[in-house]
Structure 1
Amino acid sequence: MAKPPSKRKKDTSATSNNLRATASSAEDIFDPENPATATITVTAAEVEELSETEERDRLHLERRVERAFFEAGKALAELRDRRLYRSTHKTFEEYCGSRFGYTHRHVNYLIAASNVVDNIIMGTNGSQNEIPDEMGTIGSQNEISDEMGTNGSQILPTTERQVRPLTKLEPSQQQEVWRQAVEQAGGKVPPARIVKDVVQRIMERTKVPNTYQIGEVCQILVKDNPELRGKGGCWGIVNHVGEFSCTVRTWDGEYTVGLQHLKSYNYLPAECEQMLVICDRIGRVYSGALEESVQKFLEMLGKLNRAYLTALETKVLSLIEAERK
C-alpha cells in the first residue's frame, strides 16, 4: 500500500502554489527554488492632496499653535495691569497659581517673552497695527494674527524658551541677536541653544556688574526703550536682581528693567520700607475704572521723588481707599 503524502509536503506544495499565484497576478518574477532572486513590483499609494481651503486652515491652525506663548503673555500682562483678578484673589501671583497653575516665574517668562516678540516685530515693521483678536474685538498688538513664525520674509519665535535669553538685552540688541540667530539657523526658526550662544557673546562684550539690592528704590529712566513708555520718572522697588537687569515693582505692576534704565534714590532702609507701604496702598486702589482725575493723582504719587506723602496727600489717598472698599 502506498504511503499517503506527508502533511509537511502538502503544506509546502500549497505554499509554493500560492507564491506562484501571487507572483503571477502581480506580474512579478519569482523562483521558488531561489527566493533571493525574486523581483517584486510595488505600486506607490496615491497621496491625497489638500484642497485650497484645507491648506489655508492647516496654516492658520499651525500659526495658532506657534503663537500660543505670545498670546498667553499678552493676556497675562493685561490681566495684571488692569488688576482683573481683584474680585477673587488678593494678588496676581495667587490668581495665576489658582486659575492656571502657573508659578510666578513662569508668568514673568511669558510676559517678558511677549514683549520681546513685540520688539522683534517692531524692529522690522517699524510700527504697530490694530488687529481683531479671536473674539472679533480690536486689540493694540502687532499684526501677527496669522503670520506668527513666518511674517512674510521675517522669521519669528515659536516658543518662549527661544526668546528667554533675549530678555536680558536692550530692544536694539534683541533685534540684532535674533537676526544673527536666524542666519545661523539657515534662515529657519533658531533653537534656544543658538539664541543663547549669540546672547552670551553679546554679554561678554558688554558685561556690567549689578550692584542693586532687593528692596532698593530706583527711578526708571526710559531713554530709548519703548517697553518702558509711560514709565519715565516713576519709582520702583527692586524685588529681583538679575545679572544684567532688575525686576522692579511699581504702583501698577512689575517690570524687568536693564541696569542702564535704573537710577537709585539712595534711600535709607527705613525710607525704602515706607515706599513699599506707599506702593502697596496705591496698588490696592488703582484701577482703570477710576475717574480720570483720581487716576492722575495716583499716577502722580507713583512719580514722587521723596520717600513720604504730605499730610494732604495722605488724606486724599485714605479717602480713595475708603471709597474703593
Structure 2
Amino acid sequence: MNKPPRKPKKATSGASSGSKPPASSANEDISQQADPASATITVTAVEVPELTEEEQRDRLHLERRVERAFFEAGKALMELRDRRLYRSTHKTFEEYCRVRPWRWRSHRFGHNRRQSYLLMDAAVIFDNLEQKCDRNDHILPTNEWQIRPLSKLDPDIQPEAWEQAVESANGKVPSHRIVKDVVQRIMERTQVPNTYRIGEVCQILVKDNPELRGKGGCWAIVSAVNDFSCTVKMWDGEYTVGLQHLKSFNYLPQECQQMQSLSNRISRLYSDSLEETVKNLLQSLGKLNRPYLTAVEEKLLSVLESEYEKDNCLND
C-alpha cells in the first residue's frame, strides 16, 4: 500500500534547526508542553490596605457633603429669596433666577424659576427626612430628582414613604421610579376625595411649601379641581396647590361671587412694575378674611382703578 506523500517542510529562519528557544521566551507555545492543563500562571497579589478609622470618618464626611449638595443649593436659594439679596440688580426673584449666570448647573435643568423652586422644595423635604428618618440607616437622597415625588405627600408621611422606598431598593438609595411607585401606593391607600368646588373661596395654608411663602392666611378662589390638588386664583396669579394647603372659608354663594369680583378687580391692577405702596395695598386686600370691603377700602381701590384706567387711556 502506497504511503501518502509527506508535506513539504516550512522554511525556517537562519538559525540552526537544532537550536531551541530559551525556556523563558514569551513566545513559547504552551501546546508544546506535555500537559497544557498543568501550566502554571503566576499572579502577583496586590495587598489593599484597610481604611483607618480616620479615613473611614473622612470618607463618610465627604459622602455626606456630596449627598447634601442639592440640599445646600436649595437652602442658599431660599435665603437669597427671603432676604431679597437680588434686589440691587433684579426686580423679582424669578427674574434673578432666569438671568443669573449660575456656574453650577443641574444635570437635568438650568437654573430657571422652576428649577430654583424645585431645589427649594427638595431642601425642605431633605431636612424633614434627615430629622425624622432612622439615623442608623444613613440612607439619604443624593439628588433632587429622587425625592421630587415626595412633594405630593404631607410632611408627616414623607419619612415613612422614603424608608419604604429604601427597603424596596434593598437598602440602597432608591431611584425616582421606586420613590414614585411608593408615593402612588400611599396616595391610593390614603386617598381623600376632593370636595372643593370651582368658585369656592379658601384660605391658604403654607405648611412648608416655599412657593406659598408670604401667602399664609390669604384667600384664594378655586378655578380648577384635580384629583389631589386645586388650581386657585390669587391677587398675583394662579397656583396649583395640594389639598393640605387649602381650608375653605365656607362662604355663601353670594359671598363667593363678591370675592370673585374683588379678585378680578385686583388682578387687573396688580403687576410687579407698580410702586411698593400700591402693591402693598393690593396685597393687603388679598389677605382679607371677610367677604367684603369697608367703605375706606372700597374708596382706595376705586382711586387706584381710576388711575389705572387713566394711565391706560394715556398709553393708548
- Is TM more than 0.5 here? yes
Residue 36 of structure 2 is matched in structure 1 by 36
Q: How does 1:282-297 map to 2 (within 5 A)?
A: 285=276
Whole-angstrom CA distance in 2 between matches of 1:182 and 1:57? 24
**Deviations 1:127-153 (CA, angstroms, capped at 9, x unpaired):** xxxxxxxxxxxxxxxxxxxxxxxx443
Report whether the alignment pairs 1:117 with 2:118.
no
Whole-angstrom CA distance in 2 between matches of 1:246 and 1:283? 29
Whole-angstrom CA distance in 1 between matches of 2:115 and 2:287? 29
- The DSSP-based 3-state class of the residue aligned with 1:71 is helix
The 1:210/1:57 distance shift into structure 2, 3 A limit, reads farther
Gaps of 5+ in 2: 1-10, 103-109, 250-255, 305-316
- The DSSP-based 3-state class of the residue aligned with 2:203 is strand
The 1:311/1:226 distance shift into structure 2, 3 A limit, reads same
Residue 235 of structure 1 is matched in structure 2 by 219
- The DSSP-based 3-state class of the residue aligned with 1:189 is coil
Shift of 1:256: 7.0
Q: How does 1:4-15 map to 2 (within 5 A)?
A: 6-7=12-13
Q: Which amino acid aligns with 1:21?
A: S
The 1:239/1:164 distance shift into structure 2, 3 A limit, reads farther
Percent identical pairs in the alignment equals 54
- The DSSP-based 3-state class of the residue aligned with 1:7 is coil
Residue-pair matches, total? 266
Shift of 1:159: 1.6
Which of the numbers 269, 272, 276 marks the counterpart of 2:263?
Answer: 272
Shift of 1:310: 6.5
Shift of 1:63: 1.4
Shift of 1:168: 0.8
The 1:45/1:123 distance shift into structure 2, 3 A limit, reads closer
Q: How does 1:15-94 map to 2 (within 5 A)?
A: 16-17=21-22, 20-21=23-24, 32-33=32-33, 36-37=36-37, 38-94=39-95
Contact 1:275 1:308 in 2 (8 A): no
Higher Rg: 2
Q: How does 1:1-325 map to 2 (within 5 A)?
A: 6-7=12-13, 16-17=21-22, 20-21=23-24, 32-33=32-33, 36-37=36-37, 38-99=39-100, 100=102, 101-124=110-133, 151-205=135-189, 206=191, 208-209=193-194, 218-221=202-205, 225=207, 232-235=216-219, 243-245=227-229, 257-263=241-247, 266=256, 269-276=260-267, 280=271, 285=276, 303-305=287-289, 306=291, 311=296
- The DSSP-based 3-state class of the residue aligned with 2:137 is coil
The 1:175/1:49 distance shift into structure 2, 3 A limit, reads closer
Gaps of 5+ in 1: 24-29, 126-150, 287-294, 319-325
**Deviations 1:234-271 (CA, angstroms, capped at 9, x unpaired):** 33578998752357797999987421431466355542
Contact 2:205 2:245 in 1 (8 A): yes
Shift of 1:179: 2.1
Whole-angstrom CA distance in 2 between matches of 1:12 and 1:285? 104
Q: TM-score, normalising length from structure 1?
A: 0.62
The 1:35/1:60 distance shift into structure 2, 3 A limit, reads farther
The 1:269/1:302 distance shift into structure 2, 3 A limit, reads closer
Q: Which amino acid aligns with 2:228?
A: F
Shift of 1:172: 2.0
The 1:112/1:198 distance shift into structure 2, 3 A limit, reads same
Q: TM-score, normalising length from structure 2?
A: 0.63
- The DSSP-based 3-state class of the residue aligned with 1:161 is helix
